[in-house]
Amino acid sequence: MTSAKRPLSLLDLAKVNEGEQISEGIARSLRLAQSADGLGYTRIWFAEHHNMPHVASSATSLLIQHIAANTQNVRVGSGGVMLPNHSPLVIAEQFGTLAELHPGRIDLGLGRAPGTDGATMRALRRDGTEADRFSADIMELSGYLTGRSRVKGVNAYPGWRTDVPLWILGSSLYGAQLAAQLGLPYAFASHFAPQMLEHAAHTYRESFDATNSLAGPDAEPHFIAAANVVAAETEDVAQEQLRAAENGWIRAMLGRNRELTPDDVEMLRDHPAGQQVLGMLKETAAGTQEQVVEWLDAFGDRVRADELMLVNLAPEEAAQHRTLELLAPGGNAQSAS
């Protein structure tokens, strides 16, 4: 039996494949979540994105409710809710409701980016200046969830005293510094933005201030690093799955205004633009159970991660489930032999 030495969690976008109905993508995410639930993964998070036809996690709190209602033990949360898109009171009410329905199983990860393009941001009735209030909005949100509202005469019902755990998400030093300043746990998006990972991890730990932590007087730093994974019985099979996933990224990132053929994508792999896309996936492990677990342990040691957030890159559902089985934590990993 082989498993990584740190808690393992999952990030999912409820991806919708070409030609699928959105309901099919959501159903697949539920099946994967149910597998993760039975295999001992710590948490599964869904990310807020808008105006993306192949991503079905835009109404994040609704998807969290669906997954939590159909699983038993795994924590379910946002990775994250883009707080500048929302009123802190509304988010407190939504996640307070989730916490009342699923006590002890809900996480609220918060991001500062809009999660979309400028036109869609305007359709959300936002102009981009909302991000300047990110820190203040987090403190207001925390007040609603802890029962210590910072807005006189206003409380969140549900939400009041649910103490839903807050997480800061980021891909730069800003998030690391803010999480440390507020004494909150921090998750870094190294699965697509690896450049500042080690610097951010160091900054977060060295600057962490528990004095006035929003997480309470006993707060300690908790750092999650994200990584892409594909595990299979053989290295060749894993590498085939990885190459298909990489080509999918190239097609998504570079084919927005034109249709790319498979030959186009293969040629772009060696083009500077394609290399830039592949560089986003630097923190990726693909191989056998033993190879991926060894990589994850070394990766976690390098950045002093308390927990790892896995992005399952395998394009095919059967391969996604096998990746979960092979990497399952807590002695639940199923041998590749």
* Residue numbers in the chain where pLDDT is lower than 70: 1, 115, 336-337
Percent of the chain topping pLDDT 70:
99
pLDDT tens by residue, 34-84: 999 999 999 999 999 888 888 999 999 999 999 999 999 999 999 999 999
Alpha-carbon span 238 to 222, nearest angstrom? 31
- Report d(CA 319, CA 87) in Å as an integer: 39
Q: Largest Cα–Cα distance in the chain? A: 62
pLDDT of residue 1: 46
Residue 337 pLDDT: 55
Identify the pLDDT of residue 53: 84
- Amino acid 98: pLDDT: 98
Could you tell me the fold of the domain covering 8-243+283-327? TIM Barrel (3.20.20)
Q: What pLDDT sits at residue 258?
A: 78
Q: What is the pLDDT of residue 123?
A: 84
CB burial string 20-57: b at 16+ within 10 A, e below: eeeeebbebbbebbebbbbbbbbbbbbbbbbebebbbb
* Residue 174 neighbours by CB distance under 10 Å: 17
Q: What's residue 2's pLDDT? A: 72
